[in-house]
Structure 1
């Protein structure tokens, strides 16, 4: 059973969209809680391939509403799961292969709760926050991902 929504905002500890490199330790520190027996973190990196093609680089762009929508997603996930804290940070701008694009983390009394909440957080973020990926492939082809 998920906790009541009255404490949801307090459990959202870090939400940001940045054009500077992301720090995994900062996100993990944000969800630290003495009542948490489990903390999970997901790190999304730029990979060198997609759909069978080699990726050269990519850019992330965020709609002006992306920050408020990211906060809403964090609050929704905190309301759906019995967590102590949630945090999510996404990068924008030009990223190279291996760069960190997104970091999400949750903490909960037990590991299963933290794992479930983190999966929900990254999946919901990817589906609902208007951040778009512009991929450039080594063969010269470009594509936008996540645009309406």
Structure 2
């Protein structure tokens, strides 16, 4: 099982969290990113995520390997949704286990920040006024 995955349907974060357990882990930190009803002052109705899967999977695995090399962690997992998502849906989940909380918190923050910056996943926001707009993985608008 890969530590970084793309999911085209809802997934169970509790099952993922159980995959972080180990006898040497004294801490588990998770992050859930949900679809919210606004962005940059615009009311959002729904989102659609697209990814270039071969590169997204490779870069996601590279980020998790970097986290393991940089922080004293036991395990790290990340799952990012693709496809259409409604307000309140779980869009991205990151979990890290470690012997100590400092490493778990730092690694979890590192993973989500790097995923947003480097992994080729694009978000199309659909606004309540009927307009839509593509966002780069880092959250900035995509310029035509």
TM-score, structure 1 length as denominator? 0.88
Q: Which stretches in structure 2 are left out of the alignment for 5+ residues?
A: none
* 1:4-62 deviations in Å (ceiling 9; x for gaps): xxxxxxxx963210101021112211211111110000000000110011100010000
| Contact 1:57/1:137 (8 A) holds in 2 | yes
Q: Which stretches in structure 1 are left out of the alignment for 5+ residues?
A: 1-11
1:13 & 1:70 partners in 2: Cα distance? 10
Runs (4+) off by over 4 Å: none
* 1:60-81 deviations in Å (ceiling 9; x for gaps): 0001311111111111111111
The equivalent position to 1:106 in structure 2, one of 93, 96, 107, is: 96
| Contact 1:14/1:27 (8 A) holds in 2 | no
| Contact 1:61/1:93 (8 A) holds in 2 | yes
1:91 & 1:75 partners in 2: Cα distance? 21
Alignment RMSD = 1.5
Alignment of 1:78-117 (within 5 A): 78-117=68-107
1:145 aligns with 2:132: no
Displacement after TM superposition at 1:141 (Å): 1.8
The equivalent position to 1:38 in structure 2, one of 16, 19, 27, is: 27
- Residue 3 of structure 2 corresponds to which residue in structure 1? 14
Matched length: 137
